[in-house]
């Protein structure tokens, strides 16, 4: 008789954005006359930029001819893309070799899959609130202990509360973790830390033989000078950090799918190279991102591509400003939205995050994401994304101001 992975049965409810999607659809089906504005999941609304589209067309044409047709992509990624990424790191003072870069279909998959190479009894530490993939994926592998619906915490996870008192930045935990998940600029709070603060985490990880899984999916949104774009800007990060990056938010690839993970060769568990383990895992379970999309990724690094994507980021950051200022003038307490496309607001009065979700949907026809969906310390908070259109963002703020 077959048996299932019972760890899945311990998972509470459905994936956060599936729940938001289902609730929103139920409302829209029941009220087809309402113009609902979606500022929930961080999905982009601008089309791919001209240089990227041109690269996709060109690569598509190559696929139409015997001489230039491509079959399976190299499982770790095409050299042209890995080399463009390596050069970008060099521009930030980080020496990342081509064979330390693994091309994938996005940071979500990589951050969910990275746990495959760690021991079953690995103790993880996460920010609270946190992007739910890190915790759920570890729960699926049975490393998080038991879930307590009352505290909304897993018994074996080390939570690092990120609350207004600490500027939504994690503090070194009392118990030493094996794997530390950090995401900066942060999803969901939009907070960041300075390079010297990140350096403290790198030193701590090296001192304690822990590894940092660093999600830098939102680095393109950094506007302040002393905020690091990569953990490899810190000394010693090559021996303790894995970094994930995405093309979704900086270049609009949410529908085309492309990302990468850096696993430095200097990162070792005893004398075992973590880079080789990830190469083994990636080569076995992943057949390479599509050639056409990797060419599109390469175009992102061209001078024209860089100009276009920075205009795209500027467009979304203008939305972020509109949301921040709009909410502040409506009397909300707001953070984020300066180095990140997410705005984190305190729900009014004693409303819970889900109560505010319903309130905003029913009274302003706006969809956002309840903070408690990201973890217990997110209760009483709410996340809005700057990835809507300019017009819908302006309208959303007008509706909120009228509430």
Residue placing its CB nearer to ligand MLT in the complex, 237 or 323: 323
Residue placing its CB nearer to ligand MLT in the complex, 187 or 250: 187
Shortest distance, position 355 Cβ to ligand MLT, whole Å: 20
Torsion over CA of 263, 268, 271 and 273, rounded to 10 degrees? -10
CB-CB contact of 165 with 191 (8 Å): no
Shortest distance, position 271 Cβ to ligand MLT, whole Å: 35
Shortest distance, position 54 Cβ to ligand MLT, whole Å: 26
In the complex, the residues that contact ligand MLT under the rule CB under 6 A are 41-42, 108, 131, 187
Shortest distance, position 191 Cβ to ligand MLT, whole Å: 14
Angle between the 291-300 and 303-329 helix axes, to the nearest 10 degrees? 80
Please choose, from the candidates 295, 300, 287, the residue with its C-alpha nearest in 3D space to the C-alpha of residue 76.
287
CB-CB contact of 173 with 158 (8 Å): yes
Shortest distance, position 402 Cβ to ligand MLT, whole Å: 26
Residue placing its CB nearer to ligand MLT in the complex, 183 or 300: 183
For residue 373, give the DSSP letter: G
Residue placing its CB nearer to ligand MLT in the complex, 201 or 374: 374
Q: Give one word for 246, left, alpha or beta, with left for phi > 0 and alpha for psi -120 to 50.
A: beta
Shortest distance, position 127 Cβ to ligand MLT, whole Å: 13
Question: How many helices (H) and strands (E) would you count in the chain?
Answer: 12, 17
CB-CB contact of 52 with 268 (8 Å): no
Residue placing its CB nearer to ligand MLT in the complex, 108 or 153: 108
Residue placing its CB nearer to ligand MLT in the complex, 185 or 264: 185
C-alpha distances (whole Å) from 289 to each of 43, 208, 243, 282, 324 are 20, 35, 18, 11, 36
Residue placing its CB nearer to ligand MLT in the complex, 251 or 267: 251
Residue placing its CB nearer to ligand MLT in the complex, 41 or 323: 41
Please choose, from the candidates 10, 13, 9, 42, the residue with its C-alpha nearest in 3D space to the C-alpha of residue 373.
13
Residue placing its CB nearer to ligand MLT in the complex, 78 or 342: 342
Rounded distance between C-alpha atoms, residue 278 and residue 244, angstroms: 13
Shortest distance, position 88 Cβ to ligand MLT, whole Å: 21
Shortest distance, position 397 Cβ to ligand MLT, whole Å: 20
Shortest distance, position 24 Cβ to ligand MLT, whole Å: 13
Who contacts 252 (Cβ-Cβ below 8 Å, separation ≥6)? 44, 46, 47, 48, 49, 52, 309, 312
Shortest distance, position 44 Cβ to ligand MLT, whole Å: 9
Structure tokens at 365: 């026809």
Residue placing its CB nearer to ligand MLT in the complex, 41 or 263: 41
Return the residue matching tokens 């930029």: 49
Structure tokens at 2: 């077959």
Shortest distance, position 242 Cβ to ligand MLT, whole Å: 18
Residue placing its CB nearer to ligand MLT in the complex, 108 or 324: 108
C-alpha distances (whole Å) from 193 to each of 42, 131, 226, 229 are 21, 17, 9, 10
Burial class (CB in 10 A: 0-12, 13-18, 19+), 173: middle
Rounded distance between C-alpha atoms, residue 214 and residue 182, angstroms: 5
CB-CB contact of 249 with 221 (8 Å): yes
- Nearest position to ligand MLT, beta carbon: 42
């Amino acid at each position: 008789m077959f048996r299932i992975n019972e760890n899945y049965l311990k998972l509470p409810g459905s994936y956060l954005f599936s729940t938001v999607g289902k609730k929103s659809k139920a409302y829209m089906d029941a009220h087809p006359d309402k113009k609902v504005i979606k500022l929930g999941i961080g999905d982009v609304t601008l089309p791919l930029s001209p240089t990227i589209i041109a690269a996709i067309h060109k690569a598509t044409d190559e696929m139409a001819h015997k001489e230039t047709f491509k079959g399976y992509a190299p499982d770790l990624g095409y050299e042209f893309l890995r080399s463009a990424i390596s050069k970008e790191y060099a521009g930030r003072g980080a020496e990342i070799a081509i064979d330390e870069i693994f091309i994938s279909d996005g940071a979500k998959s990589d951050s969910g899959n990275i746990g495959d190479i760690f021991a079953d009894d690995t103790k993880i530490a996460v920010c609270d609130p946190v992007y739910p993939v890190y915790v759920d994926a570890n729960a699926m592998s049975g490393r998080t202990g038991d879930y307590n619906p009352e505290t909304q915490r897993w018994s074996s996870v080390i939570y690092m509360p990120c609350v207004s008192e600490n500027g939504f930045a994690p503090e070194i935990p009392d118990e030493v973790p094996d794997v530390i998940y950090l995401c900066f600029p942060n999803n969901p709070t939009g907070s960041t830390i300075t390079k010297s603060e990140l350096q403290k985490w790198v030193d701590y990880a090296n001192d304690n033989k822990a590894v940092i899984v660093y999600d830098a999916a939102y680095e393109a949104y950094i506007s302040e000078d002393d905020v690091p774009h990569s953990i490899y800007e810190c000394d010693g990060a090559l021996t303790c950090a894995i970094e994930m990056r995405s093309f979704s938010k900086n270049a609009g690839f949410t529908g085309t799918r492309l990302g990468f993970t850096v696993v430095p060769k200097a990162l070792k568990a005893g004398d075992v190279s973590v880079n080789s383990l990830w190469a083994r895992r990636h080569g076995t379970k992943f057949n390479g991102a599509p050639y056409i999309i990797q060419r599109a990724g390469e175009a992102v690094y061209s001078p024209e591509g860089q100009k276009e994507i920075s205009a795209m980021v500027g467009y979304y950051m203008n939305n972020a400003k509109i949301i921040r200022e709009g909410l502040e003038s409506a009397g909300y307490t707001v953070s984020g939205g300066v180095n990140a496309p997410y705005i984190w607001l305190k729900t009014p009065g004693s409303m819970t995050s889900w109560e505010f979700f319903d309130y905003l949907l029913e009274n302003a026809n706006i969809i956002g994401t309840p903070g408690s969906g990201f973890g217990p310390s997110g209760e009483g908070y709410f996340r809005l994304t700057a990835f809507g259109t300019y017009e819908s963002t302006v309208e959303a703020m007008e509706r909120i101001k009228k509430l």
